[in-house]
Chains A and B, each alone.
Chain A
Amino acid sequence: MGRPLVRQEGSMVRLDQKMRPHPEVVDTEFESGEGVLLHLESKTYYSLNLTGMRIWRGLKQGLTLKEISHNLQTEFEVDEERAESSVLTVVGELSQQNLLQTPE
């Protein structure tokens, strides 16, 4: 079953962690920047909004959460606190859904 990935307050991840996408997850992205993730083991799929997809792309590129936050600040002209909060909540939710591997 699929469902939208909803941001939730509070997460167990930290900015000094580096996370990687789970190898059993495939994704696709639209021109609008929104995208869909599919976990092949659980056969579940998730939709990501523009910000979520930017964060996912950063994780695929092997960036640290801090670097991803910095990219968000530059691209969307948001302050550091807001960007970091976005990264932490999205990454926390992705982890909860087993879409990311154990932090290094």
Chain B
Amino acid sequence: MDLYTFHGLTLEVKQEGQETGESLTRLLPFLSFARSRARARTPSICLSVRLDGQGVSVPPRAHEVFESDGLCGLEGGEDFYLTEGSSLFHLQPLRGQGEADLAPGFFHQPPLLQYKFWAVGLLKLLRPLGVYSLHAAGVVTHTGLGLLIVGESGSGKSTLALGLVRQGWGYLSDDTVLLRLQPDGVEALAFRKHFHVAPNVTPGADLPLGEAMPDLSRRRRRIVDMEEAYPGQYIAGCTPRVLLFSRIVPHAHSTLLPLEHPQALWRLLSQSGPQLFDRGTMGQQLEALKRLVQQTSTYELLAGRDLYQDPMILMHLLREAEGEKRWGDHSSGKKDPWSD
């Protein structure tokens, strides 16, 4: 049995056979789960993993709620099922339990499909614990201001986030952050640590790059080991103060357009994993998203070519939109890297 901690929560993993759970346990550290020796009296989530060649079988009452990129999700009452065709992840979110029956062929599936199988299952189990996923990159300025760059795959999140990290900003993730409503506001938590960047926009040869391979959207990506490339810049959590809804435009110059709160909430919903929405947790998630919008400045970012040549253009745009007071802060005593 293995134990992990994750943003104040605990995860217990039971596996039958050493190799059976390896696909999962190899992944967990890259999703911000840390191995723990301390025994949790009642773990937040319990997973059991076993080898099973019996084929996928779900109750007849379960109905399909999504099918994307080789992974299918089915819902039956309070239970949820994930399958890639040969293996089954049976989730009981309200009980904090997941049972994975893996076919031998599972280990030969593409790594990104294996990743999605585990990651989507974990995200579903986190919902009753008040932790909700958001398709966004999370970065933090030198002065501690959290920014979330929200958008679909291909909207430039990873490239912009990487550019800002290269300027010394902290990072949570380039693709998925978790949101948790606290008494004093919404916090964003790190999830996937590695960045997946487009090969043609990867700046310079100073990055420890993995092999280029297609992601689930069939775009070629290189995996960047961020802890090796930018040690000390990983940040487990932050309080977001700016939301940017990013879109690449074929223009020379980038633009920031203010968004009203309802518009921003509406856009957030589409990037909040609608396939995992459920009756039991949606009210709380909607409240968390509303609070997130209320505690942030919200903009549509029309990302032009200038932003990818110089990511710090973003600071100029934010200064123009919000004034020097917030974005020209020298109080940290550090040299302001964004001044002209």
Interface residues, chain A, with chain B CB atoms under 8 Å away: 1-2, 4, 24, 26-28, 30, 32, 34-36, 38, 40, 43, 45, 47
Contact = CB atoms under 8 A, between A and B. Distances in A.
B207 interface: no
Contacts of B260: 34
A40 B270 contact: no
A96 to B, nearest CB: 19
A36 B266 contact: yes
Contact of A26 (B266, B270, B274, B283): B283
B269 A45 contact: yes
A31 to B, nearest CB: 8
A40 B278 contact: yes
B262 A38 contact: no
B194 interface: no
The interface residues of chain B, by DSSP majority, are classed as helix
Interface string B257-280: 000111101100110001101110
A2 B287 contact: no
Nearest to B270: A2
Nearest to A48: B262
A28 B277 contact: no
B223 interface: no
Contacts of B261: 30, 32, 34
8 contacts: A2-B266, A2-B269, A28-B286, A30-B265, A30-B290, A32-B262, A40-B282, A47-B266
B133 to A, nearest CB: 15
Chain A at the B interface: SS class: strand
Contacts, number: 48
Contacts of B286: 26-28, 36, 38
Contacts of A28: 265, 286-287, 289-290
A89 B265 CA distance: 24
Interface in B159-209: none
Contacts of B275: 43
A50 to B, nearest CB: 10
A30 B278 contact: no
Closest 8 CB pairs of A and B: A43-B274, A34-B262, A28-B286, A28-B290, A26-B282, A47-B262, A45-B269, A30-B261
Nearest to B65: A43
B160 to A, nearest CB: 24
Contacts of B274: 43
B279 A47 contact: no
A30 B295 CA distance: 12
Nearest to A29: B290
Contacts of A38: 269, 277, 282, 286
Given A36-B269, A38-B286, A45-B269, A30 B262 contact: yes
A35 B274 CA distance: 18
